[in-house]
């Protein structure tokens, strides 16, 4: 898995989210909603301290990551964090990365 944050989304995070030293922006799977690859689940975001990250990406001093506990949600996909001009907030896009997906997920 890889996390890519577009320049527009990064600008939003820099303006709207305060990330204390030692913490980062964690992405996770949450119940309810829908993504292009998940029914009944959407992407959640919180400020958190990495404990067992499966992926980390640092952009302009901001750490973006996903935890081992959310591997089920991201397995087989890379996450692109883009910016929705209409809604003025981040949007999430998944691209297949060739990792084996478990059946039924």
Domain of 42, CATH number, reads 2.60.300.12
pLDDT tier at 70 (50, 70, 90 boundaries)? very high
Total domains present in the chain: 1
3-state class of 70 per DSSP? Answer: helix
CA dihedral 79, 93, 47, 2 (to 10 degrees): 10
Which residue range(s) make up the domain with 86?
3-96
Q: Is residue 28's pLDDT more than 60? A: yes
Q: Is residue 89's pLDDT more than 90? A: yes
User: Would 38 be classed as within a structural domain?
Assistant: yes
- For residue 104, the model assigns a pLDDT of 44
- For residue 42, the model assigns a pLDDT of 84
pLDDT digits (tens, 9 = 90+) for 32-64: 766 767 766 788 899 999 999 999 999 999 999
């Amino acid at each position: 898995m890889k996390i890519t944050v577009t320049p527009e989304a990064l600008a939003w995070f820099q303006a709207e989210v305060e990330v204390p030293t030692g913490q980062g922006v964690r992405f996770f799977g949450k119940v309810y909603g829908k993504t292009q690859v998940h029914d009944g689940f959407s992407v959640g975001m919180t400020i958190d301290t990495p404990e067992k990250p499966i992926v980390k990406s640092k952009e302009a001093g901001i750490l973006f990551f996903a935890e081992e506990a959310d591997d089920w949600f991201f397995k087989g996909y890379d996450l692109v964090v883009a910016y929705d001009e209409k809604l003025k907030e981040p949007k999430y896009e998944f691209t297949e990365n060739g990792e084996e997906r478990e059946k039924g997920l």
